[in-house]
Structure 1
Amino acid sequence: MGVAIRAAGDGDRELIVRLLDEAFQDDPVSGWVFPGAEDRRAKHPGLMAAFTDIVLAAGRVDLTEDGSACALWLSMPAGEGPDDHDAEDEGPAQVRAAVDPDNERIEAIGRLTAAIHPTGRAHEYLWMIGVVPGRQGEGLGTALIEAVLARCDREGLPAYLEASNARSRKLYERLGFEPAGPVLDLPDGPSMWPMWREPREHRPTS
């Protein structure tokens, strides 16, 4: 049975924020940004809201019809990185100011990932993909990604992402992503793996 997917709109904002908050509460990178469990529960939704607003305004959010999974994508022109979508180099600082001004790691994660982001070629950037905890392992994330990768193959576009844990990295490898440069080791924290996928030859159906 196929997974029904639609493009999310502004009316889906709260659903997306809640979904991402649940999906990433126990993610290693979220745990690094908000080391304390109580602090994370309180402030993590605000960070997910900031990311959601950026992508709803400048990119695309794909959402399963049942609201259990979503993927946040940005189309990156050649020579442009993620920060170019938010007031040039001020994006990470603005997110920090809006979410938790005293937390330097909110700004750091934005700047560190932007610094390793490839800019030489136009590509699709999978910023985040989240599946609610009770539905993980059902293939929903794969379906969301494959829908965009099929378009990438038709249009000859590469795709890029940063994997934030070993489980997701294995999924991305199965979908054709390969390591793209050195691992990003967060200061006193976990690793992130930049990954790149070249478009596959598209064979039109007869």
Structure 2
Amino acid sequence: MSSPASTIPALRVAGDDDIELVADIIADAFEDLDVIRFLVPEQEHRWQVSRAWYRLYIAHAIGGAGQVLVTEDHSAAAVWFDRTGTVTEPERYAERLAELAGDALPRFQHLDEQMDAHHPRDPHWHLLFLAVRPPIQNHGFGSRLLTQTHTRLDADGIPAYLEATSPQNQHLYHRHGYTDMNPPTIDVADDIPLYRMWRPAGTD
């Protein structure tokens, strides 16, 4: 059952001083996701390697490519990218990815290629990461983060796109106005799909 809205901490836009904090939130929340297990099969390296990867995108979004929202209690965060204009990637992305990924580099490259090939071309905002620390998942934090950005996007007439990592997450996004796309999935590996979802402006 979701907690009452009054118990969910306030949100704020993250800045440069929050990059490490947001990386920790996402690494804690995503460590056991199937797609992250695919990227870094070795559990002893998974948190560190995946965190370094998230950090590249978090810094890029905060640096002007999008927006990062975080709860005041440091328990949840959302990383958005503005794809209504010129699309950019983190500075020296290929080089830095090779440095952090090590032997896992081909799997990261494969994921990037699949996501790029299936990414919508229409202008939109892209929710790359929505993360809630495990102890408080399913208590309304993700919905609060979504609503905050959707309200602004709706006012500006801007749709949103994301790749859900599980049917459970897919149901959450359905409740917030997202619909399944065609094709509906990105097949990262055998039995590891990402679910492509689109939200027209003004559908909450």
TM-score range, shorter chain: 0.7 to 0.9
Q: Structure 1 CA distance, aligned partners of 2:158 and 2:199?
A: 9
What's the C-alpha RMSD, in Å, of the aligned pairs?
A: 2.0
Superposition pairs for residues 118-133 of structure 1, below 5 Å?
118-120=120-122, 122-133=123-134
Deviating above 4 A after TM superposition, structure 1's stretches of 4 or more consecutive aligned residues are none
Residue 131 of structure 2 aligns with an amino acid whose one-letter code is: G
2: CA distance between counterparts of 1:34 and 1:201?
Answer: 36
TM-score, with structure 2 as normaliser: 0.88
Q: Report the counterpart of residue 38 of structure 1 in structure 2.
A: 44
1:96 deviates by 2.5
Aligned residue identity for 1:125: H
| SS class of match (2:182) | coil
1:135 corresponds in structure 2 to 136
Alignment of 1:175 with 2:176, yes or no, is yes
Cα pair distance change 1:95/1:164, threshold 3 Å: farther
Structure 1: distance between partners of 2:97 and 2:110? 9
Question: In the alignment, what sits opposite 1:85?
Answer: 88
Contact 1:32 1:189 in 2 (8 A): no
* Cα distance change, pair 87–27 in 1 and its aligned pair in 2 (3 A): closer
| Per-residue Cα deviation, 1:126-165 (whole angstroms, up to 9, x for no partner) | 0111000111111001000011111121111111000011
Per-residue CA deviations over 1:10-29 (Å, capped at 9, x if unaligned) read: 10111111111100001111
Distance in 1 between residues matched to 2:73 and 2:48, nearest whole Å: 26
Aligned equivalents of 2:57 and 2:198: distance in 1? 21
Match of 1:66 among 47, 64, 73: 73
Query: Secondary structure in 2 aligned to 1:14?
Result: helix
Q: Which runs of 5+ in 1 are unaligned?
A: none
Q: Distance in 2 between matches of 1:86 and 1:15?
A: 21
Cα deviations by residue, 1:158-193 (Å, 9 ceiling, x for unpaired): 110000111111100010100122111113350001
In the alignment, which residue of structure 2 is the partner of 1:162? 163
Distance 2:13 2:169 in 1: 23
* Pairwise CA distance, 1:102: 2.4
More strand by share: 2
Work out the number of aligned pairs and report it: 195
Task: Tell me the TM-score normalised to structure 1 length.
Answer: 0.87
